[in-house]
Structure 1
Amino acid sequence: MKLKSSYLANFLSLLFPQLCPACGNELVTHEKVICTDCHYNLPLTNFHLQADNIVARQFWGKINLEGAYALYYFSKGGKVQNLMHHFKYKGMQQIGNVLGNIAGLQLATNPRFASIDYIIPVPLHKSRLKERGYNQSACFAYGLAEKLNSTVEENNLIRTRATETQTHRSRFERFENMQEVFAVKNLEKLKGKHVLLVDDIVTTGSTLEACAIPLLQIEGLKLSIATIAYAE
Structure 2
Amino acid sequence: MSILSDLWGDLRALFFPLQCPVCGRPLGDGMRTVCTRCRIEAPLTEYWRQFDNPLVRSFWGLLPVMHASALLFFSGGGGWRRLIHDFKYRGNWRLAREMGIWYGAELAECDWYRAVDVVVPVPLHWRKRLRRGDNQSEYLAEGIAAALGREVDRRSVSRRRNNSSQTRHSHEERWENVADLFRVRRPERLRGRHILLVDDVLTTRATMVSCGEAILRAVPDCRISVAVLAASKRHLVHP
- In the other structure, the counterpart of 2:209 is 209
C-alpha distance in structure 2 between counterparts of 1:153 and 1:9, whole Å: 33
- In the other structure, the counterpart of 2:176 is 176
- In the other structure, the counterpart of 2:222 is 221
Paired residues, number: 232
User: Does the residue aligned with 2:166 lie in a helix, a strand or coil?
Assistant: coil
- In the other structure, the counterpart of 2:94 is 94
- In the other structure, the counterpart of 1:52 is 52
Kindly state the Cα deviation for residue 20 of structure 1 after the two structures are TM-superposed: 1.4
Kindly state the Cα deviation for residue 135 of structure 1 after the two structures are TM-superposed: 0.5
User: Does the residue aligned with 1:167 lie in a helix, a strand or coil?
Assistant: helix
Kindly state the Cα deviation for residue 139 of structure 1 after the two structures are TM-superposed: 0.2
Kindly state the Cα deviation for residue 212 of structure 1 after the two structures are TM-superposed: 0.4
Q: Which runs of 5+ in 2 are unaligned?
A: 235-239
C-alpha distance in structure 2 between counterparts of 1:7 and 1:150, whole Å: 35
5 Å-filtered alignment, 1:55-134, equals 55-134=55-134
The answer to whether the 8 Å contact 2:98/2:143 transfers is yes
Q: Deviations over 1:78-126 (max 9, x none)?
A: 2210110111122211112211111112211222212111110010111
User: Does the residue aligned with 1:141 lie in a helix, a strand or coil?
Assistant: helix
Report % sequence identity: 36
The farther-off stretch of 209-218 and 17-26 is 17-26
The answer to whether the 8 Å contact 1:42/1:79 transfers is no
- In the other structure, the counterpart of 2:13 is 13
C-alpha distance in structure 1 between counterparts of 2:5 and 2:190, whole Å: 47
C-alpha distance in structure 1 between counterparts of 2:22 and 2:80, whole Å: 6
Kindly state the Cα deviation for residue 30 of structure 1 after the two structures are TM-superposed: 3.0
What TM-score, normalized to structure 1?
Answer: 0.93
User: Does the residue aligned with 1:216 lie in a helix, a strand or coil?
Assistant: helix
What TM-score, normalized to structure 2?
Answer: 0.90
C-alpha distance in structure 2 between counterparts of 1:4 and 1:99, whole Å: 29
Whether 1:199 aligns to 2:196 is: no
Give, as a single letter, the amino acid of the residue that structure 1 aligns with 2:206: S
Residues 3 and 152 (structure 1 numbering): CA distance in 2 closer, same or farther, change over 3 Å? closer
C-alpha distance in structure 1 between counterparts of 2:188 and 2:114, whole Å: 22
The answer to whether the 8 Å contact 1:160/1:181 transfers is yes
The farther-off stretch of 3-12 and 91-100 is 3-12
RMSD, aligned α-carbons: 1.9
The answer to whether the 8 Å contact 1:101/1:146 transfers is yes
Give, as a single letter, the amino acid of the residue that structure 2 aligns with 1:99: M
- In the other structure, the counterpart of 2:237 is none
C-alpha distance in structure 2 between counterparts of 1:14 and 1:111, whole Å: 43
Residues 77 and 155 (structure 1 numbering): CA distance in 2 closer, same or farther, change over 3 Å? same
The answer to whether the 8 Å contact 1:120/1:198 transfers is yes
